[in-house]
Amino acid sequence: MLNENKITKRKPKTTISVTCISGAQYLPVGPTYSHTVTQIHEPAKLLAAITSQSHHLDEIVYFFPWPILLLPLYFHFFTLTKAMASHQCKTLFHSISIVAVPNVYVSVLSFSGFLSLPLVLASANGFSEHTNFLHSEILKDEAVARLTELGKVSDSEEFLVRTFQSPASVRAGNLIRRWMEDAGLQTWVDQMGNVHGRYEGLNPSEKALLIGSHLDTVIDAGMFDGALGIITALSALKVLNIRGLLGKLRRPVEVIAFSDEEGVRFQSTFLGSAAIAGVLPVSTLHVHDKSGVTVQGALRKNSIEITEENLLQLKYDPESVWGYIELHIEQGPVLETVGLPLGLVKGIAGQTRLKVTVKGSQGHAGTVPMNMRQDPMAAAAELIVLLESLCKQPEDYLSFDGHCKASEVQSLAGSLVCTVGEISTWPSASNVTFTIDIRAMDNLGREAIIYELSNRMYQICDKRSVLCLIERKHDANAVGCDPELSSKLKSSAYAALERLSGEDPDDVPILMSGAGHDAMAMSHLTKVAMLFVRCRGGVSHSPAEHVSEDDVWAAGMAVLAFLETLM
Ligand SMILES: [Zn+2]
């Protein structure tokens, strides 16, 4: 099991072996015999080779120019080991060959006894800085500093709030754009206010990987929801940029900070991602907020002109997109409970909202006897208890014939969540209304639950002689994450945890997302995959929302590991 302790106590697993050779002749002075292919004569080129050809270091020979001088010897070993330590590829440590130029072979041998001292010193120095090799200064320190800075960009002085196209949202967009440029990306803002940063890579015509999350927040929000997914992606790209590896990406990579996911201002979620996915109805432009400003008007206020025609043009061509990944705080307690920082999202649950009205009669508490009463409140209570027990043990209620297969019941048992939201009585206690929220990964299973629940609810109402009305207010089908993309993302998360802990981590757990995310809208455009990051107490949409610094680091490392698979 990986915990914060283990991350901070990480140790490199590998050892350095240095082989000293003269010309074509191999004379090992270290514990390992090395073979060589590439010949390098200048220290600067060696460093470039280390940072750019990490996987081929077995093949590098470095021609050490003046082995008879101890000082340059120390310097060269120091530079070497520092460069090796600052690199994250563990295979790197296996094989660097230090080569004396021809004809000074004897000198090398005579100094071989001294080799160990500078090597040990240099190694110690290199390893003392091996946090570099894990890029903690970018993936952890800077990422946390940026999250904190972005968390202060708010429309209120008392709490964090950024709604669609509010002044703080525009400032946040500008800040994110600057960080995108710092990572070496080309940036622009589209006509729905989404902020884009893109690097074309080796093949600009290849299908692009999109990475995103949202820059808007709820009212009195925490600083990680949405922001974490944007900032970890930019940190990972910045690491590649600094290492000179951005140009090696085999396909374009684009980070998108979506302008609206929470839907606070216009009560309409996914304005940003739905526009990119091409599933935002054009009528949305005319939806207005509480003060009468339309979506179109809010954009115009920030000098962004959008018409119904160019909203349609915002849709990406599915042929130009390879896939979409999103990293988000879990907003639940599962990862904290199992003690792991990252979890793979299997899918985003489908959702149905029901409104139940129970009509009874307003019998006087003192005059209508118990056997003649039609108390809707007691009926509602029985309906709510039914909901709870049905969703806790769906297998006890659903029949295997007709409506539901055994496999659906089984998948339901793992993902089904049902709760009651608002409950009200009016007038007095004669009518009770309450809302039900049902979420599950399996769409057919969810339908089976709604069918069974409605039947049994009507039976209870008949028995109690009250009238019941069940209305369906909202439906959204579940979104399954793409198995292949998910498997790549899971391996990257595993690799990240392995790098940070220096040992084999526990397997990355698989979770279901009960909450909606931009990935839900993006699934209409391309295959999607998601990673969840542990948050304290499962708390979100609150200033108490918290992700530890080491978990931010693990998240950034996972994105980095994923990007490295594109090289
Ligand atoms: Zn979110």
Closest CA to 419 of 437, 392, 434: 437
Distance, CA of 432 to CA of 533 (rounded, Å)? 40
Q: How many other CB atoms are there within 10 angstroms of residue 375's CB atom?
A: 21
Q: Is the peptide bond before 167 cis (omega within 30 degrees of 0)?
A: no
pLDDT at 49: 55
Ligand 1 center to 515 CA (angstroms): 8
Residue 549 above 50 pLDDT? yes
Alpha-carbon distance values, 256 to 273, 299, 459, 518 (Å): 9, 18, 50, 11
> Separation of 164 CA from ligand 1 center, angstroms?
14
Nearest to 259 by CA among 342, 305, 194: 194
> 387, 475 in Cβ contact below 8 A?
no
pLDDT band at 38 (very low <50, low <70, confident <90, very high): very low
Distance from the alpha carbon of residue 488 to the mean position of ligand 1, in angstroms: 23
Reference 143, options 463, 558, 567, 549; nearest CA is 549
C-alpha to C-alpha distance for 40 and 76, rounded to whole angstroms: 13
- Report the run of H or E that residue 550 belongs to, with start and end: helix 549-564
- Residue 152 Cα to ligand 1 midpoint, Å, equals 17
- C-alpha of residue 392 to centroid of ligand 1, in Å: 27
User: DSSP 3-state assignment of 253?
Assistant: strand
| Residues 205, 352: Cα–Cα separation, whole Å | 41
Using the mean position of ligand 1's atoms as its centre, give its distance from the Cα of residue 254 in Å.
19
Distance of CA 405 to the CA centre of its chain: 33
> Closest Cα to residue 324, out of 272, 281, 361, 263?
272
Q: How far apart are the CA of 294 and the centre of ligand 1, in A? A: 23
Q: What is the pLDDT of residue 46?
A: 54
How many angstroms separate the CA atoms of 28 and 281, rounded?
70
Question: How many whole angstroms from 214 Cα to the centroid of ligand 1?
Answer: 6
For helices 549-564 and 483-501, the axis angle rounded to 10 degrees is: 120
Q: How confident is the model at residue 509 (pLDDT cuts 50, 70, 90)?
A: very high
Q: C-alpha 162: how far from its chain's center?
A: 20
Exposure of 414 by Cβ count < 10 A (0-12 exposed, 13-18 middle, 19+ buried)?
A: exposed
pLDDT at position 428 over 80: no
Structure tokens that stand for 409 in this block:
């019941």
473 pLDDT higher than 90: no
Give the pLDDT of residue 503: 85
DSSP letters, 220-283, are: T--SSTTHHHHHHHHHHHHHHHHTT-GGG-SS-EEEEEES-SS-TTTS-S-HHHHHHHT-S-GG
Question: 199 and 143 in contact (C-beta within 8 Å)?
Answer: no
pLDDT tens per residue across span 173-213: 999 999 999 999 999 999 999 999 999 999 999 999 999 99
Place of tokens 């915990």: 3
Distance 155 CA to ligand 1 centre (A): 18
CA 412 to ligand 1 centroid distance, Å? 25
Least confident of 109-123, 146-160, 173-187, 261-275: 109-123
pLDDT per residue as tens digits for the range 141-177: 999 999 999 999 999 999 999 999 999 999 999 999 9
The yes-or-no verdict on residue 411 having pLDDT over 70 is no
- Dihedral sign of CA atoms 67, 69, 75, 81 in order: positive
What do you get for the CA distance between the two ends of the chain, in Å?
30
The Cα–Cα gap between 39 and 34 comes to: 14
What residue type is assigned to position 3 of the chain? Answer: N
Distance 539 CA to ligand 1 centre (A): 12
Ligand 1 centre from 558 Cα, in Å?
19
C-alpha atoms less than 13 angstroms from C-alpha of 554 in its C-beta half-sphere: 34
Q: How far is the CA of 316 from the centre of ligand 1 (A)?
A: 22
State the distance from the centre of ligand 1 to the C-alpha of 417, rounded, in angstroms.
19
Give the C-alpha distances (Å, rounded to integers) separating 344 from 193, 203, 410, 529: 29, 29, 20, 8
User: What is the full DSSP assignment across 343-391?
Assistant: EEEEEE-EEEEEEEEEE-----TTTS-GGG---HHHHHHHHHHHHHHHH
Query: Rounded to the nearest whole angstrom, what is the distance from the C-alpha of residue 261 to the centroid of ligand 1?
Result: 7
Count of C-beta atoms within a 10 Å radius of residue 344: 22
Ligand 1: distance of its center to the CA of 395 in Å? 33
- What spacing in Å lies between the alpha carbon of 309 and ligand 1's midpoint? 29
Pair 110, 73: CB distance under 8 Å? no
Tell how strand 321-329 and strand 528-533 pair up. parallel
Query: Cα–Cα distances in Å, from 18 out to 27, 48, 80, 113?
Result: 10, 19, 11, 13
Q: Tell me how far the alpha carbon of residue 541 lies from the centroid of ligand 1, in angstroms.
A: 9
Across 161-207, the runs of DSSP E, i.e. the strands, are 186-189, 195-199
Q: Nearest to residue 354, comparing CAs of 453, 260, 441, 497?
A: 453
- Pairwise CA distance, residues 535 & 554, whole Å: 13
- Residue 533: pLDDT over 70: yes
pLDDT over 90 (residue 60): no
pLDDT of res. 529: 98
Query: Ligand 1 mean position to 564 CA, how many Å?
Result: 26
310 Cα–ligand 1 center, Å: 27
Domain range annotation of the chain: 4-133, 135-348+480-564, 350-477
Superfamily grouping for domain 135-348+480-564? Zn peptidases (3.40.630.10)
Architecture of domain 350-477: 2-Layer Sandwich (3.30)
> In angstroms, what is the span from residue 81 Cα to ligand 1's centroid?
42
Nearest Cα residue to 480 out of 533, 438, 532, 443:
443
Tell me the CA–centroid distance for residue 340 and ligand 1, in Å: 20
SS3 (DSSP) at 29: coil
Please give the distance, rounded to the nearest whole angstrom, from the Cα atom of residue 289 to the centre of ligand 1: 21
Closest to 325 in 3D by CA, of 426, 237, 442, 220: 237
Which DSSP symbol is given to 294?
B
Q: Residue 328 C-alpha to ligand 1 middle, in angstroms? A: 7
State the pLDDT confidence band at 365, using cuts at 50, 70 and 90.
low
- Whether 564 has a pLDDT exceeding 90, the answer reads yes
| pLDDT: which is higher, 122 or 439 | 439
Sign of CA dihedral 545, 551, 555, 560: positive
What is the CA(218)–ligand 1 centre distance, in A? 9
* Dihedrals phi, psi of 313, to nearest 5 degrees: -75, -15
CA–centroid distance, 494 to ligand 1, in Å, is 23
SS (H, E, C) 505-527: CCCCCEEEECCCCHHHHHCCCCC
The pLDDT, as a whole number, for residue 367 is: 66
Note whether 135 and 234 are within 8 A (CB). no
Picking from 470, 439, 433, the residue whose alpha carbon sits closest to that of residue 453 is 470
117 pLDDT higher than 80: no
